[in-house]
Structure 1
Amino acid sequence: MVGLDFCSKHNMVAYLEKTDGNTEFHQIMDFLTRSSIHYALTVSPIVSTSFVEQFWTTAKSRTVNNISYIDVIVAGKPITISEASIRSDLLFDDADGIDTLNNQAIFDHIQLMGYEGDLNTLTFNKAFFSPQWKFLFHTMNHCISSKSTS
């Protein structure tokens, strides 16, 4: 099964289980399982709305020696967030990964995803992807939307 389980309005987890009934999604599940965001998609933390509000109310950015930090107070405790702390907490193991892709590499990989639209621009229309990829894009968009229940 592929999808999101909304255990409560503040909590969600992705399920990436292959079955005979979802074979058209196996390629996407393989992609997500291999990706550096697999842990972030499948862990189920409890996130309190009041903590999110405290975060954005107190967030201040600073840069020291070309390293950016976000200083916040959550649950009355000062917290400092950096790119390294995010990579560590979400188990991203791609610190030495690719920072940028040239246009041709992007176009080549978009074609591998079955994109059937024009590849002369970096604007891609969801309608030109297969239903499986449309579903993934919709789900990812939902997860990162600014709605309070996402």
Structure 2
Amino acid sequence: MSSPKFAKTHNVVAFLEKTVESDGFSKIIDFLKASSVHYALTVNPIIYTSCIEQFWATAKVQTVNRVRQLQALVDKKRVIVTESSIRRDLYLDDAEGTDCLPMATIFEELARMRYEKPSQKLTFYKAFFSPQWKYFIHTITQCLSAKSTAWNEFSCSMASLIICLATNQKFNLSKYIFDVMVKHLDGGVKFLMYPHFLQVFINQQLGDMSTHKNIFC
């Protein structure tokens, strides 16, 4: 089995500056800048490939004092990731947020967004929204979701996050990120998940990692 690689369209950094090309999208850019996920969208540490590779090569799930943890070794030092540490390091005030909205609420709120493909399917399609909503959804999914392919589609969890942001409700993004990282360990298709976020977590716990010279670009 080949070693997992970075998926370059996954966990990208949002560019939230206004340019000539942003005409018609300025209000959405302003909204995202003021949102609770602004830091998570834009945090852009130098990613040291070997740090991310070491983490995923050694990561395992442990339960300590009834709290699930991802434990791994980077440079022979322990790195621990929990839901609460993700919340702290990404400045997410979402402890009281919902995990996923009820399906009836999702369909109702997407209809308010003028989603043009009503159905009872649990997968939703970016193409059936207005250009402004497409931009909003694309930014959220590419920066925050666990996906690495098929960017026209998004799940119930991402629909819940998008709706909660748009309606000023709290969504527990920290739990979402932690849960998909745990699930990723057992997944059949491996890639080096959440490199921007994971480098932030490693830097917070181990300090300066600039002795690593292999940088992901």
Q: Is the structural similarity TM-score above 0.5?
A: yes
Larger RCO (CA within 8 A; separation ≥ 6): 2
1:139 and 1:15 map into 2 onto residues whose CA distance is 9
Q: After alignment, is 129-138 or 57-66 more displaced? A: 129-138
TM-score scaled to structure 2, two decimals? 0.54
Q: For residue 16 of structure 1, what is the aligned residue in structure 2?
A: 16
Q: For residue 51 of structure 2, what is the aligned residue in structure 1?
A: 51
Quick one: structure 1 residues 31 and 98, their matched pair in 2 at CA, closer, same or farther if it must change by over 3 Å? Answer: farther
Matched AA of 1:99: D
Structure 1 position 134, deviation (Å): 3.1
2:120 and 2:94 map into 1 onto residues whose CA distance is 29
> What do the CA deviations read for 1:65-108 (whole angstroms, capped 9, x no partner)?
44210111123321111100000000001111122311122112
Structure 1 position 37, deviation (Å): 2.1
Identity %: 49
Quick one: structure 1 residues 116 and 30, their matched pair in 2 at CA, closer, same or farther if it must change by over 3 Å? Answer: farther
Structure 2 unaligned regions, length at least 5: 1-10, 149-190, 194-215
Q: For residue 127 of structure 1, what is the aligned residue in structure 2?
A: 127
Structure 1 position 115, deviation (Å): 1.1
Quick one: structure 1 residues 81 and 14, their matched pair in 2 at CA, closer, same or farther if it must change by over 3 Å? Answer: same
1:27 and 1:67 map into 2 onto residues whose CA distance is 40
Structure 1 unaligned regions, length at least 5: 1-10
Q: For residue 3 of structure 1, what is the aligned residue in structure 2?
A: none
Equivalent residues in 2 for 1:76-95, closer than 5 Å? 76-95=76-95
Q: After alignment, is 55-64 or 20-29 more displaced? A: 20-29
> What do the CA deviations read for 1:32-59 (whole angstroms, capped 9, x no partner)?
3344321011122111111111011010
Question: Do the aligned residues in 1 keep the contact of 2:116 with 2:129 (CA within 8 Å)?
Answer: yes
Question: Do the aligned residues in 1 keep the contact of 2:56 with 2:192 (CA within 8 Å)?
Answer: no
Structure 1 position 25, deviation (Å): 2.0
TM-score scaled to structure 1, two decimals? 0.74
Q: 1 or 2, which has the higher strand percentage?
A: 1
